Structure 1
């Protein structure tokens, strides 16, 4: 970790490691992942039955319809408290928030240039890292203790095949006001809100708070192609772009994170990927409908889709080491190893991964910035 400059009182900004090379502007096309030549997909594509094609097409159509509604109302920018309230008043509040989002225009009106977006070259790199002073971390740690205790108890009831969602909690602003206040104060003091606002071209706010615990019993990142019995994971395993509406996220390290503790990793510069809106929606739809999985059933359905629809944001597991995109990712991947109290702000549409814990335990708070 290379310290660059002093930010606000006691906060330090961090540069990528010297060996990390920001990627060139990537132009996304479905051909970047060669499914027709991939050992795990090739035969499935060739022998997809009519019934499987129809089934996969229906699944895709339904998920795309749902996705278009979510994008129209900017679902990710609606706080959890509003989304989760099922009362009549709550549903009216949700409808009002959705309507305001619809008429507010594009959620990301513009991206500023690297020269305009200060503090960490966010527009150029897609990632901005800050460390906080010890006294601020102590306040945040105390405010988060109850939520982490609750999450740890829930994780303890796992059946040994723990999936991603079992590792993440969902805090409520109404019930965890102290935690939200502590996070907002920290992000404001660290300049995170200023950087996010400059990047988005509008005022950025804290939308959601998700405490997360990962350890060696998590299996979501290593259980890929279960029927193929892979001896080694591909170098780009678990690399993905989020199926989201263009929000940013800030990950706060609540424990020290080294090379083997599942450091958050980001392909520096991949936020500048050029991708058509339709292709982006196709990727998001398949990431949300189960067709992006690597188990045999998911692959059979994915392979049965028309070629144009065979796209996913979680494509890292499908890249071979010798692929051009795989090599590009390898050169630009920054594994953010840092101490507790570090904050990683990033564009969720850039290529990233995290939580691949090989030793010890990692605790973080993931914040959605909208």
Structure 2
């Protein structure tokens, strides 16, 4: 149950003292010059990617068609991309309150979204059945993939089947209409201050994930905050629609209300995303050594959940203040992925859902 009294207790994202961490500073030797230079090189690469993605707002640009080489496609259509980037920037500067909701449905979603970074959405049972029927062929494809390679269920991206908008135009049209009818597009456009629609859509199936602690090599147990993170993408919202019963055990979205406000620091956000893009956020032993070789101020991650120890104040706030959005409360959840969250982490049963990215569509 969502308690409006619960909110993230800090004005910044979690900071970990890696010098005292049992899987880092307590067991890793002091980095030598060569390791430090290598770590900085990796970080610099990640920082270039993070800055570039922020400047061009990559998630709000059209994706190359499935099967097309990404770089070649973008270079061939560079004038189109530049025009879109310029138009998007100009329209946002002039937006103001132009996209405030005009319906009560939209206003009711926007209010908690602006306050907490997350809002529940209720969908009628007959509409949910219609959605599941529409997606049934794609659900079957994903089920067959998971049956052939059950190990990939542990990989969040492999457990998703992204639908190409070029070949699934009718599905995208249908979901845009559904999101509009629910007031979601109104609320999302007001929150992002620009017109948005369903830019990317994926069917997702999550099965129980088992495995040893990420730090088993040094005898450290998994953290209770494992999998909590902020997304590396920005300037968009996500909508998760549950296509079946989703309770505490089979992977509900868990969100820490108010944490989206703590993610506004420009440099902190770039550092965290740089480490994720460079592979330095991995908990593999080699990546931990390289990450620990970074200067202390650069030891920040977007995927920080596994590194938070039990006695950490940030961990206590995340666990105490999280909202587990189950299907007995809401059929769907709209959220700002720059806030602290985890999704689809199943301990028992299976979860089937559809994940929508709400982005600015090309005009």
Report the TM-score, using the length of structure 1 for normalisation.
Answer: 0.85
Match of residue 201, structure 1, among 175, 193, 197: 193
Q: 1:349 and 1:296 mapped to 2: Cα distance?
A: 27
Q: 1:329 and 1:341 mapped to 2: Cα distance?
A: 21
Deviation at 1:275, TM superposition (A): 4.0
User: Secondary structure of 2:121's partner?
Assistant: strand
Describe the shift of the 1:244–1:108 C-alpha distance in structure 2 as closer, same or farther (beyond 3 A): farther
Q: 1:257 and 1:71 mapped to 2: Cα distance?
A: 34
Match of residue 23, structure 1, among 4, 8, 12: 8
Match of 1:246 in 2: 235
- Aligned runs of 1:36-47 on 2, under 5 Å? 36-43=19-26, 46-47=29-30
Greater relative contact order structure (CA < 8 Å, 6+ sep)? 2
Deviation at 1:301, TM superposition (A): 0.7
Match of 2:118 in 1: 127
Q: 1:168 and 1:160 mapped to 2: Cα distance?
A: 14
Describe the shift of the 1:352–1:95 C-alpha distance in structure 2 as closer, same or farther (beyond 3 A): farther
Instruction: Select between 42-51 and 205-214 the one with higher mean Cα deviation.
Output: 42-51
Match of 1:96 in 2: 80
Match of 2:250 in 1: 261
Provide the aligned C-alpha RMSD in A.
2.8
Deviation at 1:47, TM superposition (A): 1.6
Q: Which runs of 5+ in 2 are unaligned?
A: none
Q: Deviations over 1:141-167 (max 9, x none)?
A: 122112111122222232636422211
Match of 2:303 in 1: 314
User: Secondary structure of 1:139's partner?
Assistant: helix
Match of 1:105 in 2: 89
Q: 1:81 and 1:66 mapped to 2: Cα distance?
A: 18
Deviation at 1:291, TM superposition (A): 0.6
Deviation at 1:55, TM superposition (A): 1.6
Deviation at 1:193, TM superposition (A): 0.5
Describe the shift of the 1:178–1:295 C-alpha distance in structure 2 as closer, same or farther (beyond 3 A): same
- Aligned runs of 1:247-326 on 2, under 5 Å? 247-273=236-262, 275-326=264-315
Q: Deviations over 1:228-276 (max 9, x none)?
A: 3544x32211111111123111111112101110111000111111542
Deviation at 1:66, TM superposition (A): 2.2
Equivalenced residue count is 348
Match of 2:145 in 1: 154
CA contact (8 A) 1:207 1:369 kept: yes
User: Secondary structure of 1:100's partner?
Assistant: helix
Match of residue 164, structure 1, among 156, 159, 170: 156
Instruction: Select between 123-132 and 20-29 the one with higher mean Cα deviation.
Output: 20-29
CA contact (8 A) 1:255 1:339 kept: no
Instruction: Select between 74-83 and 202-211 the one with higher mean Cα deviation.
Output: 74-83
Deviation at 1:202, TM superposition (A): 1.6
CA contact (8 A) 2:239 2:356 kept: yes
CA contact (8 A) 2:310 2:316 kept: yes
CA contact (8 A) 1:252 1:341 kept: no
Deviation at 1:44, TM superposition (A): 5.8
Q: Deviations over 1:293-318 (max 9, x none)?
A: 11211111100111121111111111
User: Secondary structure of 2:279's partner?
Assistant: coil
Describe the shift of the 1:136–1:274 C-alpha distance in structure 2 as closer, same or farther (beyond 3 A): closer
Q: Which runs of 5+ in 1 are unaligned?
A: 2-15
Deviation at 1:130, TM superposition (A): 0.8
User: Secondary structure of 1:311's partner?
Assistant: coil
Deviation at 1:327, TM superposition (A): 1.6
Describe the shift of the 1:101–1:66 C-alpha distance in structure 2 as closer, same or farther (beyond 3 A): same
Report the TM-score, using the length of structure 2 for normalisation.
Answer: 0.86
Match of 1:8 in 2: none
